Amino acid sequence: MEHFKRASSSTRALTLVELLVASVILVMIITPICMLFSTSSRTIANARSLTIATSLANGYLSAVKKVPVTGEFGAVKDTDAPSPFTPEELGVPESPEGFTRTVRLLKLADPGSGKDYYRACIMVEWEGTGKQKIRKYSLDTIVTGGSGS
């Protein structure tokens, strides 16, 4: 029975148990790495959306500061805002698809200075990812009435 010689220890093959243990260890290492890619992709998408919302609110608010404010109005979509507060008249881009910009001007109590002061509120809403279905970004400032500030 010389056909079945015992293999030397240097040429020994892996057993099924060793292969299973190696596979489990490999899966335990790869799974968190895959989850990391998924989480980072979601974080990047949220950051991109927040950047767009910030830009939409800041650009609109900067334009509002340059026009005369003569009265207040409640929260309306920017395209439905009274003249001269529509995006077209202010020279700002309209909200891209998936984003909604809401505008509101509220007259503040007169501090006795003889000027009218208004609180300009810009809110941008969009559909988020993950647990937060609707995300919101709000930006407010105070503007003077009459000739702008």
Could you give the CA distance from residue 109 to residue 119 in angstroms, rounded to a whole number?
A: 10
pTM, two decimals, is 0.74
- Tell me, what's the pLDDT at 86? 92
Can you tell me the mean pLDDT for 78-105? 93
Q: How many domains are contained in the chain? A: 1
Is 8 within a domain? no
* Per-residue model confidence as pLDDT tens digits over 24-80: 999 999 999 989 988 898 889 889 999 999 999 999 999 999 998 888 999 999 999
Its domain, for residue 53, covers 14-144
Return the bridge partners of 117, or none.
Answer: 144
Distance CA 95, CA 103 (A): 12
Exposed, middle or buried by CB within 10 Å (0-12, 13-18, 19+), for 119? middle
Q: Tell me, yes or no, whether 95 lies in a domain.
A: yes
> Vertex 120, ends 149 and 128: CA angle to 5°?
135
pLDDT in tens, 123-146: 999 988 767 788 999 999 999 886
Please count the other Cβ atoms lying within 10 Å of the Cβ belonging to residue 104: 17
Confirm whether 68 is domain-assigned: yes
